[in-house]
Structure 1
């Protein structure tokens, strides 16, 4: 393990961070405008549609910001734990970065020109300009190139150290990279083989059922592509920040192995109310979805075991005495911890979404939006902010000062307060009042039911305003740490585990076994449902690609 990243590797990491912070500003502004429009407090000019800013908010934050941040962090993680990147690995990182950047500019331009107002999921029959689809395809292809460089670093370490177990962070990065490559094949297939030919007019129609299924083959695993880097921080970095040791290296590896197995063959649980898929396969994937609860509980146990063990080694006693041992004045710990807390109700809401009967109650209500904001926009993004506050000064050769740390703490608490207000209002009005997602105030038409929703939309606007203030604070901290803070050495914290020198659990690093099981589960879960879309098209359709838009 090296002490600090090289200047060349730091530049690669920071390039990703600059794009991520730019996306946060643009996407956050779009989100703020959404809350004002929904509550009736703002009317957009006729040249800008509500669904245009909704598309900007979803795609720029959920797809672009997260991808750039994750790939930048993962490059730093493999370089830190396995040694500086080779010229080839670094070149792959830069090629991937620029391919993604070009794709992002192409897609964003079409959205801003109102030629790709197709929302975050870009479902057919909504159609975008072909440049949008090509841009999104380039973002995916660029991410594959970047991930190849990261995996090559892991492979290099294994070849040079055949008798040693790989560093935990490098193993986690490789698991996430393999999972991302396998799941993103779905969205790449629907974009390249269906949506681009359709948008060019080469084909008249597309199979909507197939395109949605391919999207959700990718779409649910995307959630874990967001979550696993946060888990990397919780497992391997937070213990070092608090001054302790991680509870178990082997438990962490096993949980990531299970995430690889069960994060992909579960996308149909997003399609429980859709026709064209047999109920058996819907319920089968619901069962697989609930299997993901196991590594999630393993993670929760490991984290709080780490905290308790550390507190007791410092002499704290009692059931919760160890709680006092945690560094509550350190933003690098507090923000990820707030993310952990947010994931408790976020994970519980996920169980509701994946449950067949309960899903019928909240499906397509704003409850689902509230759930996303507890998971990716709270648990994940708060952890990412906490990671930025040591990663950026480490890469720029600066220090996290007391003043900047206090500003970062205010930013974290402000985000938590704003998101609590906004997400709670979304959950309540969606569950109790049945308020729909993706709707504007003007579409309510003055109905009595709409009048009941308005107070909760105002609460969402209040929460959104607080969140935008928090975004301003994030940008201030980022600028400080990237350009203005005093020169110095900021640690890249990587913890040892209590079982650091124990051998790896059998099969956990057997990649032939991991890939075979992953592919087998995907084939079992998807072969028949997708095959039936070719063999038994819905009524009125002659065959795949020959019927109407389904």
Structure 2
């Protein structure tokens, strides 16, 4: 078993820098979300002439892109630092990654706040932002790529020093996630650099809208798995240690990540099922590929609950559900991720609806989709991130998760779950009633349908208020764990493999094979449709003088 490495102060400072940005983003993005729900309720007018779509854009960009990306990269650097190590040169490149991403984030954020980029986090054409917004996005992507290749280098150096050995599971998982991120982000990078920046500067008179949307969703769907896979890392390899158990199956964990890599990228068309210009045959093919992701998802559920039951049986709990009753419910490091796991059941069911060729027409572009995102990303993913932060932050700062902070964490988790349940449920119902996403009906003259929508938006404001209380509490806990909690040693929990576990097949670490299959699937799913888009899209449909931020 690989000996887990201790962090130096310089390493801890690096990893914590990503956490500082993460929780600052949580506070800012959460405030924007609160204002958004108030404005939609019809009971509150935004002060100082603030544009509704400005706060909507800030909320999506800060929470959907900034918070997630900074947490993931910081967490994954910590995982690799603990399992394979981080050299001084690699640490310098990690800092370059951090500062490049942060500078890009600030540029994009300022552009949004001054009203020059009210284009939402999807930044669809014909919405046009100031060029600085796209430059900021490009810097964030480039900074993340620096992290990608630094992570690859970390594992490569470890493999050179340990020939013939199986790589640590968490290092393998990080590499899969970063490979997926790099391949997927090539699409949005191409769109920003080749289409949006020249168009925004006026060098290109028109922009191919369908191509830009296709390139975005080539990236946009695997983005969801980029958010989700770090949660899977915690579920597979960290939660078992917290509950006093062992890793259920190293081979199954690696195989599920490989399948997630292969079936997460070539499926973007299921976000474009209602769009003309894409042959229905290719939409159908990508829907089929989308549903293939059910396989590694079920594998993950089986593995995790098998770990729970096996651990409970070893502790002597013989009854049918005795092992379940004796899980560490009073440990927030377990409780928060577990609630995230449970939320993924209805979240996954909603995802099946979103990706279904026929059923999608009922909920497409309604606030159902927003409710789905808040159930998956803002509940499953974020609660797992919080669960990680409860032990990672004190481990990095040399402090302890005290019983008092643990209790506050449990309260925070319950408040968050309550607020998100109210808000997400009302969004799903309003979506089924036809309520569109992104629109503010508070100033409409009324009518039975609009009045019904506003009633659900009032419920969303109630849920949003409860959520903001949870955000304030989480920010307080983070500050305590970072600066004020008692000094001590907090465990970095990594589960060990069973002593008599079957050897992991070497083919699971054949990177050429799995990445090669992934690229082949992408070329199969996208080559002909993209050629058709380039050949048949109408020229000159969107002029350069379309207003900025419209």
> What is the TM-score of this pair, normalised by structure 2?
0.97
2:246 equivalent in structure 1: 245
Q: How far does residue 429 in structure 1 lie from its aligned partner after superposition?
A: 1.4
Q: Distance in 2 between matches of 1:46 and 1:415?
A: 29
Per-residue displacement from partner, 1:283-319 (whole Å, max 9, x unpaired)? Answer: 0000000001100000000000000000111111232
In the TM superposition, what are the counterparts of 1:284-323 in structure 2 within 5 Å?
284-323=285-324
Q: Distance in 1 between matches of 2:156 and 2:292?
A: 29
1:273 equivalent in structure 2: 274
CA contact (8 A) 1:314 1:325 kept: no
Q: Distance in 1 between matches of 2:295 and 2:304?
A: 14
Q: Distance in 2 between matches of 1:507 and 1:148?
A: 23
Q: Distance in 1 between matches of 2:497 and 2:307?
A: 9
Q: Distance in 1 between matches of 2:109 and 2:334?
A: 34
Structure 2, unpaired ranges of 5+: none
Q: How far does residue 47 in structure 1 lie from its aligned partner after superposition?
A: 2.8
Q: How far does residue 46 in structure 1 lie from its aligned partner after superposition?
A: 5.8
Q: How far does residue 466 in structure 1 lie from its aligned partner after superposition?
A: 0.5
SS at match of 2:442: helix
2:231 equivalent in structure 1: 230
Q: How far does residue 505 in structure 1 lie from its aligned partner after superposition?
A: 2.4
SS at match of 2:206: coil
2:520 equivalent in structure 1: 520
Q: Distance in 2 between matches of 1:445 and 1:263?
A: 43
In the TM superposition, what are the counterparts of 1:427-446 in structure 2 within 5 Å?
427-431=428-432, 433-442=433-442, 444-446=444-446
Q: Distance in 1 between matches of 2:174 and 2:500?
A: 18
1:485 equivalent in structure 2: 485
1:82 equivalent in structure 2: 84
In the TM superposition, what are the counterparts of 1:445-460 in structure 2 within 5 Å?
445-460=445-460
In the TM superposition, what are the counterparts of 1:129-144 in structure 2 within 5 Å?
129-144=130-145
Per-residue displacement from partner, 1:127-168 (whole Å, max 9, x unpaired)? Answer: 000000000010000001012111111111111111210000
Q: How far does residue 458 in structure 1 lie from its aligned partner after superposition?
A: 1.0
1:14 is aligned, of 13, 16, 26, to 16
SS at match of 1:441: coil
Q: How far does residue 45 in structure 1 lie from its aligned partner after superposition?
A: 3.4
Q: 1:478 to 1:292 in 2, by over 3 A?
A: same
Q: Distance in 2 between matches of 1:525 and 1:444?
A: 43
In the TM superposition, what are the counterparts of 1:55-454 in structure 2 within 5 Å?
55-83=57-85, 85-431=86-432, 433-442=433-442, 444-454=444-454
> What is the TM-score of this pair, normalised by structure 1?
0.97
1:495 equivalent in structure 2: 495
Q: Distance in 1 between matches of 2:290 and 2:305?
A: 24
CA contact (8 A) 2:210 2:537 kept: no
Q: 1:545 to 1:255 in 2, by over 3 A?
A: farther
CA contact (8 A) 1:207 1:545 kept: no
Per-residue displacement from partner, 1:83-103 (whole Å, max 9, x unpaired)? Answer: 3x1012111110000000000
Structure 1, unpaired ranges of 5+: none
Q: Distance in 1 between matches of 2:450 and 2:77?
A: 48
Q: Distance in 2 between matches of 1:485 and 1:518?
A: 46
SS at match of 2:359: helix
CA contact (8 A) 1:4 1:394 kept: no
Q: 1:201 to 1:218 in 2, by over 3 A?
A: same
CA contact (8 A) 1:533 1:544 kept: no
CA contact (8 A) 2:206 2:542 kept: no
Instruction: Report the count of equivalent residues.
Output: 544
Larger relative contact order (Cα-Cα within 8 Å, sequence gap ≥ 6): 2
Superposition CA RMSD, Å: 1.6
Q: Distance in 2 between matches of 1:54 and 1:544?
A: 24
1:471 equivalent in structure 2: 471
1:44 equivalent in structure 2: 46
Q: How far does residue 536 in structure 1 lie from its aligned partner after superposition?
A: 2.1
Q: Distance in 2 between matches of 1:364 and 1:203?
A: 29
